[in-house]
Structure 1
Amino acid sequence: MNLIKVAGGVVNQTPLAWETNKQNIIGCIEEAIEQDISLLCLPELSISGYGCEDMFFAPGTCETALEMLEDIVNHTSGIIVSVGLPLMINNRVYNAACLIANKQIRGFVCKKNLANNGVHYETRWFQPWPAGERTELKIGEFSYPVGDIIFEADGVKIGFEICEDAWIANRPGRDLYQQGIDIILNPSASHFAFLKTYTRERFVQDGSRAFGAAYLYVNLLGNEAGRIIFDGDTMIAQAGEILVSGTRFSYKDYYLTTAVIDLNKLRLEQIQNRLTFRSSTNTVSFLYSFPEITPVKNVYELESWETSSPLHIGFQKEEEFARAVSLALFDYLRKSRSQGWVISLSGGADSSAITALCYLAIEMAVRELGIEGFKKKLSYIKKIQDCQTVQELSNKLITNIYQGTQNSSSDTRNSAASLANDLNTTFYDIDINNIVEEYKALIQKAIGRDLDWETDDIALQNIQARVRSPSAWLLTNVENALLLSTSNRSEAAVGYATMDGDTSGSISPIAGIDKHFLRHWLRWLENTGLGGEVTIKGLNGVNSLQPTAELRPLEAKQVDEEDLMPYDLLNEIENAAIRDKKSPKECLIFMELHFAGIYSREKLILSIERFFKLWSRNQWKRERYAPSFHVDDHNLDPRSWCRFPILSGGFEKELEEMRDYAENAKGKGRKSKIGF
């Protein structure tokens, strides 16, 4: 019985944090050796970090990565390890995986297919490796094979698909299959997006079945470089069967997901199903004795919160949002060495959601690491070292400030205070009305007239939002903390935010999520909660309110959805117009289908027209938003996903075509049909 114990090693890395990254890798290797692992796969670019950006151009980056590699090699006694790093060959940089066995480098495999969409920009820094090619790289006195390589250890053939390699139709695994591969390693840096784990599971399972092999997939973990979140997804499959699946969204520095693969079962699959076979001239063989191990029962078991069927997802998206953004906030806090978070808590949905997410970061980290482990992880924050409960930690790490004017209601003040009290955050309630009046008086004197709501509506709203920013920044600087911007994606789409007001902050945690989902998520968090266990009852106040900016006089009864449009409609228009690139006319056809019997044609036309006009004139705002976390594949961040000109024609021609179409359809007395 040929049994091999393998593992995926998840690590939480930081770009260019050489010593920390190296120690995480070494710690992972040492733990694998303790567990008698024979083959360990670590994620893509785990030595340097994935998000080094243009520092991949710097020769020193590749040189330092090789220095770190040499140190790592010394810790691989009795084990085979794959570790990722950037590699420079002939003045070109490649995304490579190094295979080490028993303290010796055996060779480097380079990525063939580079990710170059959305948040990924690999073709800027790396060259794709040509299929079938091989060269040599000299490191010190020795030369090592590099390129499209298969490794053979004690008759066991090991090959690679590096991240994007597995996402294309003609994936390298097909060629590996023709060469009699036994084990395929997939070291990845695959960004988190809602429900993406199900797609990964399919290609891992299908790859192991189609290629008659064992397949080991391992992803990076955490908020590595600022925007992208990695979930630590790890899966090991064999001949079409998922053997194990690892923990996602962990707060640990590193951990293992292990399984025992049965070579005899793989060989039987190969004998029964292999149609052709060809030998490879790019096989690197070396001696390695896989130890005899006793059989174990591999248990494929998802975490309790993930057990919903993919076809009946339930609250999977809500769970993933909470866990992904909470982990991202925790990592951003510790990697920036900040002393806590500051949120301008208005009592509305956005700031309440961010406050709740900060609290969940503390709650979930303590549940996994324990109080002492949590404090050790944030050992540089001296003020928390005497804390003994999550509530005490919340008080030290989360600061809320409510800044009211004469236009603020008791409802929002009570909502803010109720949440802060429930979570035991530090809460300040200050009145800024006199500051607003002073600014108004200065400008009124300068221009020689009084400012009036009839003629100066936007100006009078914006000054209230902007006046809040200096106080929040001052408090943030006093605390040496992170100021979190409170704008969401729906506001970003139409520019319903005040620059240097509610957009102020160093990170914008919810700028990647729409307001329609966010309001639903807050109700879910109050009543159902993470894993059905962690709820926040202090959200009751905000969940009972209509979203409002509260910038006009109270008697105006300002409501966001009246200023803009219903949030469910705004979300669908954004999806159609920006994600799917549909014209205003096509958007109208789709909206009439989607909202039949809910909104009138006139309401749909006005909303679509408003959306396209506001989208076009507010690109400059999106360019200035604080960096946001990427959570789904229709982000609006112009620096990483959705590029649009700052100055444009504003869709004038396209909107005219929509109005003509609507008028003609009305004249003919018919309803439009979906036509795309």
Structure 2
Amino acid sequence: MSQGNCERILRSIKIAKAKGATIRVGPELEITGYGCLDHFLEGDTFLHSWEMLATILQSEEAQDIVCDIGMPIAHKNCTYNCRVIIHNGKIVLIRPKMWMANDGNYRELRHFTPWHKHRQVEQHSLPGIIRRITGQSFVPFGDAVIATEDTVIGVELCEELFTPASPHILMGLDGVEIFTNSSASHHELRKLNRRVDLIKEATQKLGGIYLYANQQGCDGDRLYYDGACMIALNGAILAQGSQFSLSDVEVITATIDIEAVRAHRTDSSRRMQASQAEAYERIILDTRLDGGMGIRVGEDETKSGEFMYHTPEEEIALGPACWLWDYLRRSRVQGYFLPLSGGIDSCATAVIVHSMCRLVVTASQHGDEQVIADARRMTGEPEYSTYVPNDPKEFANRIFHTCYMGTENSSPETRKRAKDLAAAIGAYHVDLNMDTAVSAVKGIFSFVTGRTPTFAVHGGSPAENLALQNIQARLRMVVGYLFAQLLPWARGKVGALLVLGSANVDESLRGYLTKYDCSSADVNPIGGISKTDLKKFIKYAETAFDLPILESFLDAIPSAELIPIGADNAVQSDEAEMGMTYDELSVFGRLRKVEKCGPLSMFGKLVGEWGTTLSPSQIAEKVKHFWFTYAINRHKMTTITPSVHMEAYSPDDNRFDMRPFLYPARFDHQFHKIDVLADSLPNRATQPGVDKAKVD
């Protein structure tokens, strides 16, 4: 929570009033920010929330407009996630949240109490700081609606929209015409349409006006809250906010004829149900929201249109880029450092940073004073500077540093790709060889033990082969942090850089990474994105960002380049070493997390999906191999670099995926049942005339 939140709330109210609005709705817990987490267990958080509300109540901005504001409140020694409805210096109603988000990324029941007294209202005793301002000692607290002279307003809070029996149903049947929804809904690839569909369906069936406000930006955690605020009327979207933006404050408005709601509600079936609906207590607010013609939530007549969605490739380009900018400016460092390997993962990370630079330039050209001020600070410009970012490559050269960390096992092709990509996006690039450092570490071991490990291609054991690869990988992490701390100094600047990781979600799921290697970083923009989606993103960016160099990354075989090329001259292949393709990994990940499959049920589903191309025994081996490698590598997720959450099957142990990290990896009972079932099933893959469809 900060004074900044209060200032942003007041600015949004001022903008809304300037556009002619008479009711303003903000996002969930906007006074504190949604991401306070265990700070919601501290009394100070509640005290400071009242202090910020006191400032808003006394402000000129908050006069002559109904404001729906979010903050935590303690009522009878229980903590609640609340909406506070204010008007002209008075608190009209405090509406606590009734249904909590408590899975995936959310732990609301850890911090808040759900209000289970439906359609019941109690009196809440206000703190002295508020009593002195409002002249009120007690205000209504509970599940009620607000009746103005011309309409009725009801609150539905975030998760409540997603529940099977949403409050808007009964409120609408009891005559509520305007529904407000204050949300903190995070971005996930291909997720936004669910929100839109629910809001359209709610107002289509019930009739009504739906005002949906969502938090936007990084709130101090792995989530990017993706905005996309909207105003709906009778199943149609009238206004839509941006899904990805660098702006601190964004306001959308619409002007609506309230009679359109009433006309929509004349169906006899609706009237029959409404006549039987239980009544909500109505809190009377002596004001009108219209100008004699209709509800005014904006200055101009508004027409409906189709909701505009981004493609998944655009979501990858914009979501992590906005999150990275928020993280960079809030951490108050001078930029990012990325180990650039010449492979597609670090390539995608670099292109996302390039997208961030493009967004910064666009916002600066549009006069966004906050973006310009942040850009000047992180580039070391003096206070009197007139510098404005106007070229993504020039800005990247100031704040984005890349490094190719080669060894004797690296190829000229990856070195050149890394250098060419850095030049194409403007990054400050360093090229080095680490062989001396690698030899020094091997020398320490040989000096102590008298034994010298060798690679498998030279006759070494699997243990030697793996250890020699990990030496290189872990030294890259050490060298990366050294350069991140000292590169600005070497360039005559002050400050340090944040290190970016670039392990994708599939590699984390499989555990195909070295613990504490260069995947260990400060933040990871692609840690929640599948390899399949990253390839599509790179293909999109090649044209959208005019980066022809990206084609060479798409054509390259994914390789760690940690072992010497053997006599067969075969390149080390990630997919060959993993024993599965990246496409298969995505399927395993979704079945494990999203569809909640164990080994046996995963096998059963895949026999149906893959049975025309693979035999039951082949599918069984793939499933068993996945679960074994997943289990023995699960411990790596306890130390995984914080990643921007983007995918529903993320294996992030620290927030999203609460599973053991020590497994009995043989799964004896489950694997035995899979083998028995595989032996009993027909092999459809060998039957004549069967379509040999590609495994997806």
**TM-score when normalising by structure 2:** 0.88
- For 1:402, the equivalent position in structure 2 comes to 404
- For 1:126, the equivalent position in structure 2 comes to 112
Q: C-alpha displacement at 1:238, in angstroms?
A: 1.5
Contact 1:418 1:541 in 2 (8 A): no
Contact 1:409 1:554 in 2 (8 A): no
Distance 2:308 2:266 in 1: 38
Instruction: Output the amino acid matched with 2:124.
Output: L
Identity of aligned residues (%): 27
Distance 1:593 1:457 in 2: 38
Distance 1:669 1:663 in 2: 14
Correspondence 1:188-199 to 2 at 5 A? 188-199=183-194
The change in CA–CA distance for 1:62 and 1:667 in structure 2 (over 3 A counts) is closer
Residues 299-358 of structure 1: CA deviation (Å, up to 9, x unaligned)? 44568764xxxxxxxxx1111122111111111111111211110000111111111101
Deviates more, 1:562-571 or 1:605-614: 605-614
SS where residue 522 of structure 1 aligns?
helix
From 436, 439, 442, the counterpart of 1:437: 439
Instruction: Output the amino acid matched with 1:515.
Output: K
Contact 2:28 2:158 in 1 (8 A): yes
Contact 1:45 1:95 in 2 (8 A): yes
The change in CA–CA distance for 1:382 and 1:519 in structure 2 (over 3 A counts) is closer
- The answer as to 2:549 corresponding to 1:545 is no
Q: C-alpha displacement at 1:195, in angstroms?
A: 2.4
List alignment gaps of at least 5 residues for structure 1. 1-15, 307-315
Q: C-alpha displacement at 1:119, in angstroms?
A: 0.3
SS where residue 554 of structure 1 aligns?
coil
Residues 190-220 of structure 1: CA deviation (Å, up to 9, x unaligned)? 1112222211111111212223211111111
- For 2:324, the equivalent position in structure 1 comes to 329
Deviates more, 1:399-408 or 1:606-615: 606-615
- For 2:149, the equivalent position in structure 1 comes to 154
- The answer as to 2:372 corresponding to 1:375 is yes
Distance 2:292 2:571 in 1: 72
- For 1:457, the equivalent position in structure 2 comes to 465
Q: C-alpha displacement at 1:371, in angstroms?
A: 7.6
- For 1:525, the equivalent position in structure 2 comes to 541
Distance 1:624 1:33 in 2: 48
SS where residue 450 of structure 1 aligns?
coil
The change in CA–CA distance for 1:356 and 1:301 in structure 2 (over 3 A counts) is farther
SS where residue 82 of structure 1 aligns?
strand
From 551, 567, 573, the counterpart of 1:559: 573
Distance 1:654 1:338 in 2: 50
Contact 1:251 1:369 in 2 (8 A): no
- For 1:298, the equivalent position in structure 2 comes to 302
- For 1:274, the equivalent position in structure 2 comes to 271
SS where residue 525 of structure 2 aligns?
coil
Contact 1:422 1:537 in 2 (8 A): no
From 112, 116, 124, the counterpart of 1:137: 124
RMSD of aligned residue pairs (Cα, Å):
2.3
From 622, 644, 649, the counterpart of 2:659: 644
SS where residue 274 of structure 1 aligns?
helix
Q: C-alpha displacement at 1:388, in angstroms?
A: 4.0
- For 1:8, the equivalent position in structure 2 comes to none
Deviates more, 1:255-264 or 1:133-142: 133-142
Instruction: Output the amino acid matched with 1:159.
Output: G
The change in CA–CA distance for 1:323 and 1:608 in structure 2 (over 3 A counts) is same
Distance 1:133 1:457 in 2: 68
Q: C-alpha displacement at 1:268, in angstroms?
A: 2.4
SS where residue 333 of structure 1 aligns?
helix
From 56, 67, 78, the counterpart of 1:72: 56
Contact 1:245 1:302 in 2 (8 A): no
Aligned residues: 643
Instruction: Output the amino acid matched with 2:451.
Output: R
SS where residue 383 of structure 1 aligns?
coil
Instruction: Output the amino acid matched with 1:186.
Output: N
Q: C-alpha displacement at 1:239, in angstroms?
A: 2.1
Instruction: Output the amino acid matched with 1:106.
Output: V
Distance 1:560 1:298 in 2: 53
Distance 1:178 1:109 in 2: 19
- For 2:594, the equivalent position in structure 1 comes to 579
- The answer as to 2:425 corresponding to 1:428 is no
SS where residue 403 of structure 1 aligns?
strand
Correspondence 1:447-526 to 2 at 5 A? 447-453=449-455, 454-455=460-461, 456-478=464-486, 479=488, 480-526=496-542
Distance 1:332 1:404 in 2: 29
- For 2:635, the equivalent position in structure 1 comes to 620
Higher relative contact order by CA 8 Å / sep ≥ 6: 1 or 2? 1
Distance 1:640 1:220 in 2: 19
Deviates more, 1:457-466 or 1:566-575: 566-575
Contact 1:371 1:389 in 2 (8 A): no
- The answer as to 2:42 corresponding to 1:58 is yes
Instruction: Output the amino acid matched with 1:443.
Output: F
Q: C-alpha displacement at 1:51, in angstroms?
A: 0.9
Contact 1:402 1:429 in 2 (8 A): yes
Distance 1:154 1:247 in 2: 33
Q: C-alpha displacement at 1:412, in angstroms?
A: 0.5
Residues 485-535 of structure 1: CA deviation (Å, up to 9, x unaligned)? 1111111112111111122211122111122221232122213x3xxxx34
Instruction: Output the amino acid matched with 1:244.
Output: A
Q: C-alpha displacement at 1:602, in angstroms?
A: 5.8
List alignment gaps of at least 5 residues for structure 2. 294-298, 489-495, 691-696
The change in CA–CA distance for 1:286 and 1:167 in structure 2 (over 3 A counts) is same
Contact 2:502 2:526 in 1 (8 A): yes
The change in CA–CA distance for 1:128 and 1:305 in structure 2 (over 3 A counts) is closer
- For 1:3, the equivalent position in structure 2 comes to none
Deviates more, 1:591-600 or 1:653-662: 591-600
Q: C-alpha displacement at 1:586, in angstroms?
A: 3.6
Distance 1:211 1:667 in 2: 52
- For 2:672, the equivalent position in structure 1 comes to 656
Q: C-alpha displacement at 1:593, in angstroms?
A: 4.0
Contact 2:92 2:140 in 1 (8 A): yes
SS where residue 380 of structure 2 aligns?
helix
The change in CA–CA distance for 1:230 and 1:445 in structure 2 (over 3 A counts) is same
SS where residue 83 of structure 1 aligns?
strand
**TM-score when normalising by structure 1:** 0.90
Deviates more, 1:289-298 or 1:484-493: 289-298
From 415, 419, 422, the counterpart of 1:417: 419
Residues 204-243 of structure 1: CA deviation (Å, up to 9, x unaligned)? 1121222321111111101112211111111211122222
Q: C-alpha displacement at 1:538, in angstroms?
A: 2.8
